[in-house]
Amino acid sequence: MTEMMTEHTRDESQQIQPPIRRVVVALDASPCSRAVLRSAARIAAGLNIQLEGLFVEDVRLLDLAELPIAAEVRTPGGVRPFNRSLAERELGLVAQTVEKWAGQIARSYKAEWHFQVVRGDVAQSVMEAAGPGALLSLGRFGNPIYTRSRGMGSVARRVLGEHQKPLLLLHREIRPGQPILLITSGAVEELPLVAMAVRLSQVYTSPLIVLTENPAAEAFLAAALADQPQTVSFHRLESGNLAVQIFAHSRGRGGIVLSHRRDAELAESECALLLL
């Protein structure tokens, strides 16, 4: 049976730290990647932890380049032969470009910075890079030409389904003042999630909005968070579409939703999604 938050766990809630020691950001050449990195850099700097950029040379692209019919179409420039050697060289150039602008962003936030290039399946590679103590951060839409109606990118969808470790999904930069929304059932196991929500509300100087189905947890958290410098409000989580409720409680201002639920409805929210 899941233990619920009580008055006896108040001291523990005040002492516990978010289980994050570094932030790993999956990067590509898309504008979405820059927004993801700016948000990850702010979080890493605010939590005083290392920021790691990761560029994956997609092995599927290299395999396609070995096909006899492979060719590159340029406008202008027409069609030219495309082979593995050329693909490797162009991926290397992209990686260098990404490393340059990513380093500039990381330094602007004064985040401790590391960058690496690996080769493999993109989704598998980013999950492997995010080992113990890492928050994996990536864009919800991998291709900049995707529109909102086309849904989540294939890499983000696979990672959401398979990566049972801390994960941050977003598609636009998180701005200071945007709300931090915490979804909690009141289980003691969720105390690290509460601690992370508090830290993020401080990093972003943002209001903290707590959504829970459990009246006992609401009372406990109200007491435990009474001394927080940021505004804290509490709301009852109803049955029904989570994304609609999040939009209503955030008043359409975006922000970050923190939850243990790996729920498809949460992934459809306009807010960033942080899962522990």
Residue 119 has pLDDT above 60, yes or no: yes
Q: What local confidence, expressed as pLDDT, does residue 147 receive?
A: 41
- Please report, for the domain that includes residue 198, its CATH number: 3.40.50.620
Residue 4 has pLDDT above 80, yes or no: no
**Secondary structure class of 110 (helix, strand, coil):** coil
Domain stop point among 169, 195, 218? 169
pLDDT digits (tens, 9 = 90+) for 222-243: 877 878 888 899 998 888 788 8
Domain stop point among 169, 185, 206? 169
Report the C-alpha gap between 63 and 19 in whole angstroms: 38
Domain membership flag for residue 84:
yes
Report the C-alpha gap between 243 and 268 in whole angstroms: 7
Q: In the structure encoding, which two tokens stand for residue 221, read together?
A: 């958290």
Residue 168 has pLDDT above 80, yes or no: yes
- pTM, two decimals, is 0.85
- Please report, for the domain that includes residue 121, its CATH number: 3.40.50.12370
Higher pLDDT, 181 or 73: 181
Residues constituting the chain: 276
Dihedral pair phi/psi, residue 235, rounded to 5°: -140, 150
Domain membership flag for residue 2:
no
**Distances, alpha carbon 92 to alpha carbons 88, 186, 190, 196, 197, in Å:** 6, 48, 42, 36, 38
Q: What local confidence, expressed as pLDDT, does residue 244 receive?
A: 86
Quick one: 124 and 31 in the same domain? yes
Once rounded to an integer, what is the mean pLDDT over residues 138-149? 58
Range of the domain at 123: 22-67+78-169
Confirm if 18 and 127 have CB atoms less than 8 A apart: no
Residues forming a β-bridge with 134: 22
Domain membership flag for residue 140:
yes
Report the C-alpha gap between 242 and 239 in whole angstroms: 8
pLDDT digits (tens, 9 = 90+) for 177-217: 999 999 988 777 888 899 999 999 999 999 999 998 887 77
**Distances, alpha carbon 268 to alpha carbons 104, 144, 151, 154, 231, in Å:** 31, 17, 8, 14, 26
Residue 13 has pLDDT above 70, yes or no: no
